[in-house]
Amino acid sequence: MDHVVSGIAKFQKEVFPQKADSFRELAGGQQPEVLFITCADSRIDPSLITQTEPGELFILRNAGNVVPPHSNDTGGMTASIEYAVAVLGVTHIVVCGHSDCGAMKGALSPESLVSLPHVKEWLGHCRAAVEVVREQKGEVCAEHLDCVTSENVALQLQHLRTHPAVAAKLATGKVQLHGWVYNIGTGEVLVYDEPTRSMSPLTGAELAAKSAAEA
Protein backbone atom coordinates (compact mmCIF):
# COMPACT_ATOMS: atom_id res chain seq x y z
CA MET A 1 0.00 0.00 0.00
CA ASP A 2 2.91 2.37 0.64
CA HIS A 3 3.76 2.55 -3.05
CA VAL A 4 0.16 3.47 -3.84
CA VAL A 5 0.22 6.37 -1.40
CA SER A 6 3.63 7.53 -2.62
CA GLY A 7 2.27 7.32 -6.13
CA ILE A 8 -0.39 9.89 -5.26
CA ALA A 9 2.29 12.22 -3.97
CA LYS A 10 4.27 11.80 -7.20
CA PHE A 11 1.14 12.41 -9.28
CA GLN A 12 0.35 15.62 -7.43
CA LYS A 13 3.93 16.88 -7.58
CA GLU A 14 5.08 15.76 -11.04
CA VAL A 15 2.21 14.64 -13.26
CA PHE A 16 -0.71 16.94 -12.39
CA PRO A 17 1.20 20.20 -12.95
CA GLN A 18 2.10 19.12 -16.49
CA LYS A 19 -1.56 18.50 -17.34
CA ALA A 20 -3.18 21.12 -15.14
CA ASP A 21 -5.01 22.81 -18.03
CA SER A 22 -6.57 19.51 -19.13
CA PHE A 23 -7.66 18.67 -15.61
CA ARG A 24 -9.20 22.13 -15.14
CA GLU A 25 -11.23 21.56 -18.30
CA LEU A 26 -12.25 18.09 -17.18
CA ALA A 27 -13.32 19.44 -13.79
CA GLY A 28 -16.38 20.93 -15.51
CA GLY A 29 -17.61 17.76 -17.18
CA GLN A 30 -16.81 14.81 -19.43
CA GLN A 31 -17.42 13.89 -23.07
CA PRO A 32 -15.91 10.43 -23.58
CA GLU A 33 -16.12 8.91 -27.03
CA VAL A 34 -15.79 5.29 -25.93
CA LEU A 35 -17.54 3.10 -23.38
CA PHE A 36 -14.89 0.52 -22.50
CA ILE A 37 -16.19 -2.62 -20.77
CA THR A 38 -13.47 -4.90 -19.50
CA CYS A 39 -12.49 -7.31 -16.73
CA ALA A 40 -11.64 -6.24 -13.19
CA ASP A 41 -8.38 -8.22 -13.47
CA SER A 42 -5.53 -6.17 -12.00
CA ARG A 43 -3.36 -6.83 -15.05
CA ILE A 44 -5.65 -4.89 -17.38
CA ASP A 45 -5.12 -1.14 -17.69
CA PRO A 46 -7.47 0.23 -20.39
CA SER A 47 -5.82 3.65 -20.58
CA LEU A 48 -2.37 2.09 -20.87
CA ILE A 49 -3.43 -0.39 -23.56
CA THR A 50 -5.18 2.28 -25.62
CA GLN A 51 -2.80 5.12 -24.74
CA THR A 52 -5.71 7.41 -23.93
CA GLU A 53 -5.94 10.37 -21.57
CA PRO A 54 -8.38 11.08 -18.72
CA GLY A 55 -11.81 11.91 -20.12
CA GLU A 56 -11.52 9.78 -23.25
CA LEU A 57 -12.78 6.43 -21.93
CA PHE A 58 -15.85 5.73 -19.79
CA ILE A 59 -14.69 2.50 -18.16
CA LEU A 60 -16.85 -0.26 -16.66
CA ARG A 61 -15.14 -3.25 -15.04
CA ASN A 62 -16.30 -6.49 -13.50
CA ALA A 63 -15.33 -10.15 -13.30
CA GLY A 64 -15.41 -11.50 -16.85
CA ASN A 65 -16.31 -8.25 -18.67
CA VAL A 66 -19.94 -9.28 -18.35
CA VAL A 67 -22.91 -7.34 -19.67
CA PRO A 68 -26.07 -8.79 -18.11
CA PRO A 69 -28.98 -8.90 -20.57
CA HIS A 70 -31.37 -6.03 -19.98
CA SER A 71 -34.07 -6.64 -17.39
CA ASN A 72 -36.31 -4.60 -15.11
CA ASP A 73 -33.96 -5.33 -12.20
CA THR A 74 -31.64 -2.36 -12.05
CA GLY A 75 -27.96 -3.09 -11.54
CA GLY A 76 -24.79 -1.05 -11.72
CA MET A 77 -23.85 -2.26 -15.19
CA THR A 78 -27.31 -1.59 -16.64
CA ALA A 79 -27.50 1.90 -15.17
CA SER A 80 -23.97 2.81 -16.23
CA ILE A 81 -24.47 1.59 -19.80
CA GLU A 82 -27.69 3.59 -20.05
CA TYR A 83 -25.98 6.71 -18.72
CA ALA A 84 -22.95 6.38 -21.01
CA VAL A 85 -25.08 5.98 -24.12
CA ALA A 86 -28.12 8.17 -23.43
CA VAL A 87 -26.49 10.99 -21.47
CA LEU A 88 -22.79 11.08 -22.29
CA GLY A 89 -23.40 10.16 -25.93
CA VAL A 90 -20.57 7.69 -26.44
CA THR A 91 -20.31 6.60 -30.06
CA HIS A 92 -18.32 3.40 -29.59
CA ILE A 93 -18.68 0.54 -27.12
CA VAL A 94 -15.81 -1.91 -26.64
CA VAL A 95 -16.12 -5.22 -24.81
CA CYS A 96 -12.58 -6.32 -24.04
CA GLY A 97 -11.73 -9.78 -22.72
CA HIS A 98 -8.21 -10.96 -21.98
CA SER A 99 -5.91 -13.96 -21.84
CA ASP A 100 -5.64 -16.10 -18.70
CA CYS A 101 -9.00 -14.80 -17.42
CA GLY A 102 -9.88 -16.21 -14.01
CA ALA A 103 -13.57 -15.58 -14.58
CA MET A 104 -13.51 -17.65 -17.76
CA LYS A 105 -11.71 -20.42 -15.88
CA GLY A 106 -14.56 -20.33 -13.40
CA ALA A 107 -17.15 -20.44 -16.19
CA LEU A 108 -15.40 -23.54 -17.54
CA SER A 109 -15.50 -25.23 -14.12
CA PRO A 110 -18.64 -24.05 -12.27
CA GLU A 111 -18.26 -26.97 -9.85
CA SER A 112 -15.18 -25.21 -8.46
CA LEU A 113 -17.29 -22.24 -7.40
CA VAL A 114 -19.42 -23.95 -4.76
CA SER A 115 -17.90 -21.80 -2.01
CA LEU A 116 -18.37 -18.65 -4.13
CA PRO A 117 -22.13 -18.56 -4.74
CA HIS A 118 -22.25 -14.95 -5.94
CA VAL A 119 -19.39 -15.51 -8.38
CA LYS A 120 -21.08 -18.65 -9.66
CA GLU A 121 -24.35 -16.83 -10.22
CA TRP A 122 -22.63 -13.90 -11.93
CA LEU A 123 -20.79 -16.20 -14.31
CA GLY A 124 -24.11 -17.67 -15.35
CA HIS A 125 -24.11 -14.74 -17.77
CA CYS A 126 -21.22 -16.50 -19.55
CA ARG A 127 -22.79 -19.95 -19.76
CA ALA A 128 -23.86 -19.63 -23.39
CA ALA A 129 -20.23 -19.00 -24.41
CA VAL A 130 -19.21 -22.26 -22.74
CA GLU A 131 -22.05 -24.13 -24.45
CA VAL A 132 -21.05 -22.76 -27.87
CA VAL A 133 -17.54 -24.11 -27.38
CA ARG A 134 -18.92 -27.42 -26.12
CA GLU A 135 -21.03 -27.71 -29.28
CA GLN A 136 -18.02 -26.87 -31.46
CA LYS A 137 -15.47 -29.08 -29.72
CA GLY A 138 -17.65 -31.88 -28.37
CA GLU A 139 -16.45 -31.07 -24.85
CA VAL A 140 -14.98 -28.25 -22.79
CA CYS A 141 -11.81 -28.31 -20.75
CA ALA A 142 -8.98 -26.02 -19.64
CA GLU A 143 -7.35 -26.08 -23.08
CA HIS A 144 -10.43 -24.33 -24.49
CA LEU A 145 -9.93 -21.23 -22.34
CA ASP A 146 -9.03 -18.97 -25.27
CA CYS A 147 -12.07 -20.16 -27.24
CA VAL A 148 -14.41 -19.50 -24.34
CA THR A 149 -12.84 -16.08 -23.80
CA SER A 150 -13.51 -15.13 -27.42
CA GLU A 151 -17.04 -16.54 -27.39
CA ASN A 152 -17.75 -14.67 -24.18
CA VAL A 153 -16.87 -11.38 -25.84
CA ALA A 154 -19.26 -12.20 -28.69
CA LEU A 155 -21.95 -13.16 -26.16
CA GLN A 156 -21.64 -9.93 -24.20
CA LEU A 157 -21.99 -7.96 -27.45
CA GLN A 158 -25.29 -9.79 -27.95
CA HIS A 159 -26.35 -8.85 -24.44
CA LEU A 160 -25.53 -5.19 -25.14
CA ARG A 161 -28.05 -5.16 -27.97
CA THR A 162 -30.85 -5.96 -25.51
CA HIS A 163 -30.35 -2.68 -23.66
CA PRO A 164 -32.91 -0.14 -24.96
CA ALA A 165 -30.53 2.82 -25.05
CA VAL A 166 -27.98 0.80 -27.03
CA ALA A 167 -30.59 -0.70 -29.36
CA ALA A 168 -31.93 2.76 -30.19
CA LYS A 169 -28.51 4.16 -31.06
CA LEU A 170 -27.57 1.06 -33.07
CA ALA A 171 -30.76 1.42 -35.09
CA THR A 172 -29.83 4.98 -36.05
CA GLY A 173 -26.14 4.25 -36.62
CA LYS A 174 -25.02 6.45 -33.74
CA VAL A 175 -23.18 3.71 -31.86
CA GLN A 176 -20.74 1.03 -33.02
CA LEU A 177 -19.92 -2.14 -31.08
CA HIS A 178 -16.44 -3.67 -30.91
CA GLY A 179 -15.25 -6.96 -29.42
CA TRP A 180 -11.61 -7.29 -28.39
CA VAL A 181 -9.40 -9.81 -26.61
CA TYR A 182 -6.14 -8.52 -25.12
CA ASN A 183 -3.17 -10.88 -24.70
CA ILE A 184 -1.37 -9.94 -21.49
CA GLY A 185 1.87 -11.68 -22.42
CA THR A 186 2.30 -10.31 -25.96
CA GLY A 187 0.34 -7.04 -26.01
CA GLU A 188 -1.62 -8.30 -29.03
CA VAL A 189 -5.26 -7.26 -29.40
CA LEU A 190 -7.62 -9.52 -31.32
CA VAL A 191 -10.76 -8.07 -32.89
CA TYR A 192 -14.04 -9.94 -33.25
CA ASP A 193 -15.50 -10.11 -36.77
CA GLU A 194 -19.21 -10.81 -36.47
CA PRO A 195 -19.92 -12.08 -40.02
CA THR A 196 -17.25 -14.79 -39.74
CA ARG A 197 -17.50 -15.23 -35.93
CA SER A 198 -13.72 -15.13 -35.79
CA MET A 199 -10.94 -13.15 -34.12
CA SER A 200 -8.06 -11.52 -35.98
CA PRO A 201 -5.16 -9.31 -34.84
CA LEU A 202 -5.61 -5.56 -34.77
CA THR A 203 -2.50 -4.71 -36.81
CA GLY A 204 -0.58 -1.48 -37.22
CA ALA A 205 -1.68 -1.21 -40.85
CA GLU A 206 -5.35 -1.54 -39.87
CA LEU A 207 -4.93 1.09 -37.19
CA ALA A 208 -3.31 3.48 -39.65
CA ALA A 209 -6.09 2.92 -42.18
CA LYS A 210 -8.76 3.52 -39.54
CA SER A 211 -7.05 6.70 -38.39
CA ALA A 212 -6.87 7.97 -41.97
CA ALA A 213 -10.54 7.16 -42.56
CA GLU A 214 -11.60 9.04 -39.43
CA ALA A 215 -9.40 12.06 -40.18
Question: What pLDDT digit, counting tens, does each position of 48-101 carry?
Answer: 999 999 999 999 999 999 999 999 888 999 999 999 999 999 999 999 999 999
Burial pattern 27-36, b for ≥16 Cβ within 10 A else e, equals: eeeeebebbb
User: How many domains is the chain partitioned into structurally?
Assistant: 2
Residues 105 and 210 in one domain: yes
98 is in an annotated binding site: yes
- The reported pTM is 0.91
Residues 125 and 207 in one domain: yes
Contacts of 151 (CB under 8 A, 6+ apart): 129, 130, 132, 133
Quote the CA–CA distance of 6 and 25 in Å, as a whole number.
26
Residues 1 and 39 in one domain: no
pLDDT score of 215 more than 50:
no
Residues 6 and 85 in one domain: no
96 is in an annotated binding site: no
Strand partners, 79: none
163 is in an annotated binding site: no
2-12 pLDDT per residue, tens: 899 999 999 89
41 is in an annotated binding site: yes
